[in-house]
Structure 1
Amino acid sequence: MKARNAVAILRVAWPSFVEVGGGVFLHEVDPAGLGCFGDLTAAEAFCNHVHVLDFVEHGAGLDGSDPGRGYYDAAHPDFLAAFEAGTLIAQSWQAKLARDFPGRRFRVYFCADDNPVVRFHTVRDNETPWLDERDWAQAVAAGRVIVLEVPSS
């Protein structure tokens, strides 16, 4: 692996968060565009996600089950490695958010279905979380979704 590739991956795992318009983001966003999401939680959940397989070369090809989309081969060793990387990124984000924003509440999600995705948002009393506990309990039990709280419970 080239050094610049390693740095890029480490920046994903340990990002320099930015505050914009009352939200916390992985990168600079246009504050004028945040209103199109309905609320700040939805804006954060949309802007603050990464698809793990997009950052690495892999052989977990699409299966073609859905023309134009398809799903990655979840049994492929590269997909399984992306699953492990995604859980590590989620744990890193949990630690970094706790360190950078003491006293603020966040929820970090890792979802393994399709292309493993890590995302986060601030937890706000007046806004609905990106994923409701009633919706993810079964997926958590099946090991397809990991939900991490900041501060950790």
Structure 2
Amino acid sequence: MKRYELVPELREWDAHNGGEESPEGWVSCMGTFSLAAAYATLFWPQFVEVRGMVFREGVTASDVENWLAHTDHEAKVVEATINHLHILDIQHPGIWSEATETQLQFLGRTLRASWAAKLELDFPGRKFAVEFIEGSSENLREYQVLFYENHEG
């Protein structure tokens, strides 16, 4: 892990505590149980099935119907659209300027892996494409993760 690239605050934390501490030590002092629970729901989400399609929890039948009407009833497009998450949206826009490409890449790859594992666990026998779309230093907003069911092959 690129500890100081991913969590720059660890450098000062480690210096203060006399050596290399784990990120867990830092977060145990800086975080809250509410934050831990909220992040857990992001990285290990609950899924719901609506009209035979799979979405992260919170999506309603009305949401799906609206998107179906605007996409010629293309399930893959509807799932990919509703199920996409811009990595920057994990935090408030007021701190987006603090995000680094290294952090966004790490978070995106981690989300892709955890969502893929959870989908496989919750929906055995169904095939999902879970994609991590990388942005660039010029457009950090484009870093995103999404999923949809792959009905092909």
TM over 0.5: yes
Q: How far apart in 1 are the matches of 2:52 and 2:144?
A: 24
Deviations 1:87-142 (A, max 9, x none): 0110001100110001101100001213320100001239xxxxxxxxxxxxxxxx
Q: 2:127 aligns with which of 70, 86, 105?
A: 105
1:96 is matched with which residue? 118
Is 2:44 the partner of 1:14? yes
2:108 is matched with which residue? 86
Q: State the aligned residue count.
A: 112
1:53 is matched with which residue? 88
Matched-pair identity in %: 31
The 3 A distance-change label for structure 1 pair 21 and 77 is closer
DSSP 3-state at the match of 1:104: coil
2:12 is matched with which residue? none
Which amino acid in structure 2 is aligned with residue 19 of structure 1? E
Q: Which runs of 5+ in 1 are unaligned?
A: 62-75, 127-153
Q: How far apart in 2 are the matches of 1:12 and 1:77?
A: 18
1:43 is matched with which residue? 78
More helix by share: 2
TM-score for the superposition, normalised by structure 2: 0.65
- Contact 1:109/1:118 (<8 A) preserved: yes
1:5 deviates by 2.1
Q: How far apart in 1 are the matches of 2:44 and 2:145?
A: 13
Q: 1:24 aligns with which of 37, 43, 54?
A: 54
Which amino acid in structure 1 is aligned with residue 65 of structure 2? A
Q: How far apart in 2 are the matches of 1:79 and 1:60?
A: 11
1:77 deviates by 6.2
Q: How far apart in 2 are the matches of 1:3 and 1:56?
A: 17
Deviations 1:44-76 (A, max 9, x none): 000001111221368552xxxxxxxxxxxxxx7
Q: How far apart in 1 are the matches of 2:65 and 2:91?
A: 32
TM-score for the superposition, normalised by structure 1: 0.65
- Find the structure with the greater CA-based Rg: 2
Q: How far apart in 1 are the matches of 2:42 and 2:112?
A: 10
Q: How far apart in 2 are the matches of 1:51 and 1:2?
A: 24
- Contact 1:59/1:78 (<8 A) preserved: no
